[in-house]
């Protein structure tokens, strides 16, 4: 926590958080105890606090106001007044808590957190599920200020022993952290007990790739199965475009430009929340030519029994993959297979990133190990240059 003489110029231009840190405190040199907290989520603005000790010696933090709401001069005046009152025996934080209602975690989550994220977070249903299935049982009846870091760490560890993957365990802690961050932001909690809980950060990504025989078996089923043609067509479309299942199920004919052979996925359907264009190859066009929905329905893939677009295909997919002798193959693996086709075909990771719509190149980097043939060709080019300078006798012996 840097100590400096706070100025209006610094508050106007210097409220930044160092890279890699979630927050920082700028302490006032002129008035000990006064500081500005700046969060990485809100650069350029902060909140004035007064740090003090109560009668028991416990360190307390009293909020004074936002830098956008009161001036530095007023913040110093309020801080001086608070310090004088505290010296006379007052405890602002204790008095504030006595008049402020304390929510249980369940009440806060349902009445405050969910209404906030439902309109802001695409995965809000997943949040509701994680809370309902596991978090509520552990913390639901506890008041927000009664939840401790030790309890959260214990809950995190116990989840791992139930058989959940490390990543799934981490998702629970991330949700607790995110929700309690809002409680702190809304002055319903002094500090977030989950802020420094370490995550497992286990790499449990599963990628199933097929050899030539397995791929032939899958394609044979997708091309010949008569009782699930629509799902077979969906699977072939995913394998031909590298799209996510949800993107394909929500695809409409208006998004398909057959002249330029491009499928434009709107931001509302894209995981990256940005419009992206997917080039349509010949096999993707083969699928489109087999569909009988153009002109009759808005969506590409429609369940003829209900005349509504498909919302899930997992049950039928389970039957298809077993028939192909590939019970381990997930529907999302078709996206990984498409990426493997590109990489093994010599396409760069940048090209793969653009086609798959990855916002972060580190996500695409998982396919780097597939480019062994391209790397071998690159290594061989160096060998050609080296051997050009070798005497004929040495080249001959090396060949032998």
pTM, two decimal places? 0.57
Q: What is the CATH number of domain 212-373?
A: 1.10.443.10
Average pLDDT over residues 70-79: 95
In percent, the amount of the chain with pLDDT more than 90 equals 63
Task: Kindly list the distances between the CA atom of residue 188 and the CA atoms of 113, 143, 191, 193, in Å, as whole numbers in the listed order.
Answer: 12, 11, 9, 13
43 pLDDT above the threshold of 90: no
Would you report the helix, strand and coil content of the chain in percent, each value rounded to 5?
Answer: 50, 10, 35
pLDDT at 286: 95
Average pLDDT over residues 66-78: 95
Task: Kindly list the distances between the CA atom of residue 2 and the CA atoms of 5, 15, 36, 76, in Å, as whole numbers in the listed order.
Answer: 10, 12, 10, 18
220 pLDDT above the threshold of 80: yes
Q: Which CATH superfamily is domain 3-99 in?
A: Integrase, DNA-binding domain (3.30.160.390)
In percent, the amount of the chain with pLDDT more than 70 equals 90
Average pLDDT over residues 387-394: 58
User: In angstroms, rounded to a whole number, what is the distance separating the alpha carbons of residues 10 and 60?
Assistant: 25
Domain ranges across the chain: 3-99, 105-185, 212-373
pLDDT at 90: 85
Mean pLDDT of the chain: 88
């Amino acid at each position: 926590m840097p100590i400096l003489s706070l100025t209006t110029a610094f508050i106007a231009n210097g409220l930044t958080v160092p890279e890699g840190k979630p927050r920082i405190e700028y302490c006032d040199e002129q008035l000990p105890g006064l500081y500005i907290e700046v969060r990485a989520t809100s650069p350029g603005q902060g909140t004035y606090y007064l740090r003090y000790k109560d009668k028991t010696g416990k360190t307390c933090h009293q909020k004074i106001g936002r830098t956008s709401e009161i001036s530095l001069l007023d913040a110093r005046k309020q801080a001086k007044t608070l310090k004088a009152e505290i010296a006379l025996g007052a405890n602002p934080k204790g008095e504030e808590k006595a008049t402020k209602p304390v929510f249980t975690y369940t009440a806060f989550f349902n009445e405050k957190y969910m209404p906030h994220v439902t309109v802001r977070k695409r995965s809000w249903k997943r949040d509701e599920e994680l809370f309902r299935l596991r978090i509520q049982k552990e913390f639901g009846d506890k008041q927000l200020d009664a939840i401790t870091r030790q309890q959260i760490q214990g809950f995190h560890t116990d989840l791992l022993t139930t058989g959940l993957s490390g990543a799934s365990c981490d998702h629970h802690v991330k949700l607790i952290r995110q929700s309690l961050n809002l409680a702190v932001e809304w002055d319903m909690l002094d500090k977030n007990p989950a802020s420094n809980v370490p995550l497992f950060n286990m790499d449990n990504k599963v990628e199933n790739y097929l050899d030539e025989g397995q791929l032939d078996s899958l394609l044979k089923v997708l091309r010949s199965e008569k009782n699930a043609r629509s799902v077979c067509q969906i699977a072939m479309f995913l394998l031909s475009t590298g799209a996510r299942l949800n993107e394909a199920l929500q695809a409409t004919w208006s998004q398909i430009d057959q002249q330029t052979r491009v499928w434009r996925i709107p931001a509302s359907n894209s995981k990256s929340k940005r419009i992206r264009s997917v080039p349509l190859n010949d096999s993707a066009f083969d699928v489109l030519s087999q569909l009988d929905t153009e002109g009759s329905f808005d969506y590409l893939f429609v369940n003829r029994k209900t005349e509504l677009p498909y919302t899930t295909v997992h049950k039928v997919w389970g039957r298809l993959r077993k028939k192909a002798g590939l019970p381990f193959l997930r529907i999302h693996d078709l996206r990984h297979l498409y990426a493997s086709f590109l990489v093994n075909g010599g396409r760069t990771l940048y090209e793969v990133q653009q086609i798959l719509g990855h916002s972060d190149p580190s996500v695409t980097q998982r396919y780097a190990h597939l480019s062994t043939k391209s790397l071998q060709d690159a290594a061989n080019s160096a060998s050609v240059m080296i051997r050009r300078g070798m005497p004929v006798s040495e080249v001959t012996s090396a060949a032998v």
